[in-house]
Amino acid sequence: MEVGVKPTQLDSPSTFDATEYSVTALREHALLLQSHLAFLAEVATVVPGSASELDDVGLAFERLSHQVGRLQVNFAARMEQAIQDLNSDVQLSSERSKFRSAKERLSQVLHVNPGEVQKRLDIAHAITPVESPEGDVETAHPLIGRAFEDAALPVSLAAKMIGAVDRLREPIEQVTGSAEEADLLSDRMEADLLKAATSSIPKAVDRRVKDWENRINSMGVLPTQQVKQEIQGAFYLGRFMGLHRWSLLADDLQHETLLTVMAPEVSPRSRNQVSEDAGSGLGTQLGSGAGLDSGPGSRAGAEGGEVSETVALDENGKPLEAPKDGRSLAQKRLDGVLHALSAGLKGGNVSLHGGYHPQVIVNIDQKSLERDLLASDVEFRSDAVHSGPINPRIIRQLACNAELLPVVLGGDSQVVDAGNRRRLFSAEQRKLLYARDRGCTFPGCTTGVDRCEAHHVLEYSKGGVTTLENAAMVCSHHHHLVHETAWAIVMRNGVPFWKPPVQEDAQRPLMRNAYFHPEKAQQLALSV
């Protein structure tokens, strides 16, 4: 079409009788409207005009799109009624529709996503007047309905507001004293969202919805069984930056249980711990130890003075500044939960699975167990029963733990080791380890022995023996550290010392924990 050539004039609604208006005429008008829109789309790119004039034109076009949305909603409602009539018992079975619903038919015929069709139907249900059993004609959302009929709202925004008000209706009924009060609060919310929608950008509606959610939640909402069934639980969100993402929605009792198992990891904060919740995005800052008991780290040291928690000792008893605990609060929470789960696995206090207590079982081939794999296309075996492929380095770390059952495969996939428990420290050895180390041996760490694991200094998979001279107690966090970084443990007269990576200290001094043992190194050795 050439610019400047107008399409055929549309008849005004007042020039025809709607009762005599046919579907054929409706389709012809729709096609003619398409030609009008095509003409507008073409001239809108070339017609001259100032910025303010174009603002007015853009607003007119936007309201035109809202009118189209209104037409789509009305048509979806009409189609839904037609499908219901066609599938009702009063119709002959030969005339029944092959589509189960209007949503399915509209989705397939119009090539529109079912979710978009559902939005149109939701709006139609919300703004269509319905006669109540008492004979009153009521509209579920009259304010949004009037705005939508006036082309003040697009389909997506109207559906979002209707969904928000409906979703919060049940919590509103919980926190109000009567149905009348619930109606008033719902109407206030609807009016508030409508004001934000018509006076600002759609993002303002999202903010107002969150404000209302917070306001209603603060009144003491309790989740119903239906809400729990719909949204409560643990949801796996996939991998992100090499980590597995989960989302938890828990009730009050479950939340308190989580906080309880996290507490031992996050509550006893010592002065060598980073106070800010680094990297968690919460901006939470915790105290640096003020008000805590002084603990064993403040007892008299080798020279008769006070040894601070922030101090480690070298092999001669000379004070050294201990490394900071760089974990964020979120990491400590996770460590607390995993420690509780690990304790349950080790103690056998979890539900049976197939007649056995659940245990972490992994498979790995011997070469992968003994060395790090370089990037290559060489096939190797390293996987866990539930999560599938797993990094061999993780398995080597897990091999220190009592309840891991590694199945080591040889060159022809034959089993060469199936969790031989001779690799584990005996109960008597553990008693001596507890007495010697008293807690995590990492310099400055304050984690008690009940939350630590016995670690082979020379890894069992590399020929390390299960003796006290080759053992050190480490917490879960520092167990990861010694396996995943260049930190190393060196034994001196039966005493574990830690050697930092060269990038942290070029001298790589030997350091030991002065929190549990402020005495001289030679006083620590045990005769076994």
Q: Give 441: exposed, middle or buried? Use CB within 10 Å, 0-12, 13-18, 19+.
A: buried
DSSP 13: G
**For residue 315, what pLDDT is reported?**
75
CB atoms within 10 A of CB 242: 6
Under 8 Å between Cβ of 313 and 512: yes
**Reported pTM:** 0.50
With a CB cutoff of 8 Å and minimum separation 6, the contacts of 262 are: 332, 333, 336, 337
What pLDDT, on the 0 to 100 scale, is given for residue 109? Answer: 86
Helix (H) or strand (E) holding 319: strand 319-321
Cβ atoms 341, 257 nearer than 8 A: no
> What's the pLDDT tens digit per position in 141-161?
999 999 999 999 999 999 999
pLDDT digits (tens, 9 = 90+) for 46-88: 888 898 888 888 889 999 999 999 999 999 998 888 887 776 6
**E strand spans, 343-469:** 360-365, 382-384, 388-389, 404-409, 415-418, 452-456
Residue 35's alpha-carbon distances to 1, 2, 42, 188, in angstroms, are 9, 12, 11, 42
Q: What is the pLDDT of residues 443-482, one digit of tens each?
A: 888 888 877 888 889 887 677 888 888 889 998 888 888 8
pLDDT at 283: 34
Determine the 3-state secondary structure of 259 from DSSP. Answer: helix
Please give the Cα distance from 338 to 335 (Å, whole number): 5
Residues 297/375, Cβ–Cβ less than 8 Å: no
Q: What are phi and psi of 201, to 5 degrees?
A: -90, 160
According to the model, what pLDDT value does residue 207 have? 93
Q: Which of 160, 135, 4, 159 is nearest to 72 (CA)?
A: 159
- pLDDT reported for residue 486: 86
3-state DSSP assignment of residue 468: helix
Q: Digits of tens for pLDDT over the chain (528 positions)? A: 444 555 566 655 555 566 667 788 778 888 888 888 888 888 888 888 898 888 888 889 999 999 999 999 999 998 888 887 776 655 444 455 566 677 888 888 889 899 999 999 999 999 998 887 777 888 999 999 999 999 999 999 999 999 999 999 989 998 888 889 999 999 999 999 999 999 999 899 999 999 999 888 888 787 877 788 888 899 999 989 988 999 999 887 788 788 888 887 776 544 444 444 433 333 333 333 333 333 333 333 333 334 344 468 877 778 888 887 778 888 888 888 888 887 777 666 655 444 444 455 666 665 665 555 443 444 555 666 556 666 666 665 565 554 444 455 554 444 444 444 456 677 778 888 888 888 889 988 888 887 788 888 988 767 788 888 888 999 888 888 888 788 999 988 878 999 999 888 888 888 888 888 776 555 555 433
Residue 472 and residue 441 in contact, taking contact as beta carbons nearer than 8 Å:
yes
3-state secondary structure of 284: coil
**Residue 211 Cα distances to 88, 141, 186, 207, 232, angstroms:** 44, 20, 14, 6, 22
